[in-house]
Chains A and B, each alone.
Chain A
Amino acid sequence: MSEMIAPEKVAANKPEAVQEVARMNQLAGPAQRAESPLHHADLGTIAQKGPKNGGVTLQEHKLLGHLVIRGSQDNQAFLAGAREALGFDLPTAPLSSVQQGDRSVRWISPDEWLLIVPGEEAFDVEEQLRAAMGGHFAIVNVSGGQTVLELSGPEARSVLKKSTPYDVHDRNFPVGKVVTSVFAKTQAVIRRTGEQSWELVIRRSFADYAWLWLQDASAEYGLVVKA
C-alpha cells in the first residue's frame, strides 16, 4: 500500500525540470482595469477635498511590482545573479534594506527578500533575475497580493506607536531598517525611509482594515491624504 501512495521522485533525476516554472506577465493590459486594494476608498478624491494640513500624511504607492525572492545565502550563484540583475547586492544583514532609485529590497528572513520595482518593470526584472541566478531559488510575483502605504509627518511615529508593539524609537529603528511585525490586528512590513517617513507593506485582504485603522489612529493629529 505504501508503495502506491509514495510520491514519484522525479525532481532529483531531472535537474532541468527545476527551472521549468510557469511565468507570466501579471500586468493588466488594456482589456483589464488594474485596481489597487484601496480603490474603493477613493484616496484621490479625499486628497483633493480633504484637509491639507495635519500631523500625519498618508500616501498609497499603488500597483507597484512586488517580487518575493527566496534562496540560500550559501548559494553564491544565487547572490551573484541577484547582483548582476539588480546592480546591487541583496542585503544579507538581518533587518536591513537597500534603496536604489525606484528599486528597493527588504530583508524579510535569512532566505527571503521583498523586491519592489515600478509595476511595468516587474516581469522584465523577474526574467532578468531568473536568467542571472543559478542553483536552487524561487521568485514569486506577489504584486496583486499587497500594497504600499507611506506614512510621513511629525506625528507619523505616534501613529506607529499605537499600531505596533515594535519599538520605533530612533535608538532602535534607524533609517533603512525594516521589520515584519504586528500592525494593529494584522501584520505589516515596516521600513523607515526617512527621519519622518515610514513605509508599510500591507496585505491586500487587510488593506481596508489598515486604512480604517490608520484613519482612526491619526484622527487626533490630523490626517492628510496625498494622491
Chain B
Amino acid sequence: MFYIYCPHCGEHREEEEFHAKGQAHIARPADPDSCSDKEWGEYLYFRKNPRGLHHEMWVHAAGCRKFFNVTRDTVSYEIKEVYKIGERPSVVAAGN
C-alpha cells in the first residue's frame, strides 16, 4: 500500500482513500465551436502513456474530496511530487 500526501489535509493518508483520475494539465480548447474535429478529438480521447514521469490528477475521495496533482514515475510507482491544482510542477521529465 502507498501513503499518499494530500496537500489539502496536510498529511499522508492510506492509498485506499484516493482515486486516480488520469492525466493532469489537459487544456480544454478555448473556443470549442471553432476548433477542428482533430483538436476536439485529441482533447477528449487522446492521453499520454509515458514510461517514466507522468503528471496525474488524484482525488482524496474518502477524505476531503479535493483534487490535486501528482507526479509519479510509472516504472517504479514512486511519487516524486504532489502539488495543488493551478500550481506548476517542479519535477518534470527532460525534454518536456
Stretch from B41-49, B62-70, B73-81 that touches the partner: B62-70
Option from A95, A108, A112, A165 in Cβ contact (under 8 Å) with B14? A165
Q: Mark A27-51, 1 if CB is under 8 A from B, else 0.
A: 0000000000000000000000000
Which A residues touch B14, using CB under 8 A?
A: 165-166, 181-182
Interface size class of A (residues with CB under 8 A): 10 to 19
Question: What's the Cα separation between A112 and B14 when bound, in Å?
Answer: 21
**A112–B13 Cα gap in the complex (Å)?**
19
Contact code string B10-37 (vs A, CB < 8 Å = 1, else 0):
1101101100000000000000010000
Are the C-beta atoms of A180 and B63 separated by less than 8 Å? yes
Tell me if A181 and B10 are in contact (CB < 8 A): no
The reply to whether B64 and A109 form a contact with Cβ atoms under 8 Å apart is: yes
Check if B62 sits within 8 Å of A181, measured CB to CB. yes
Counted as pairs of residues, one from A and one from B, with CB atoms less than 8 Å apart, the total is 39
Dominant SS at the B interface? loop
Residues of B within 8 A of A187 (CB): 62
Residues of the A chain whose Cβ atoms lie less than 8 Å from the Cβ of B65:
109, 112
Binding site for A on B (CB under 8 A): 8-11, 13-14, 16-17, 33, 62-66
Shortest 6 CB-CB distances between A and B: which pairs? A109-B64, A165-B14, A94-B10, A182-B62, A187-B62, A180-B63
Supplied contacts A94-B8, A165-B16, A181-B13, 17 more A-B pairs, CB within 8 Å: A94-B10, A95-B10, A95-B11, A108-B64, A109-B8, A109-B63, A109-B64, A112-B64, A165-B14, A165-B17, A166-B13, A179-B63, A180-B64, A181-B14, A181-B17, A182-B16, A182-B17
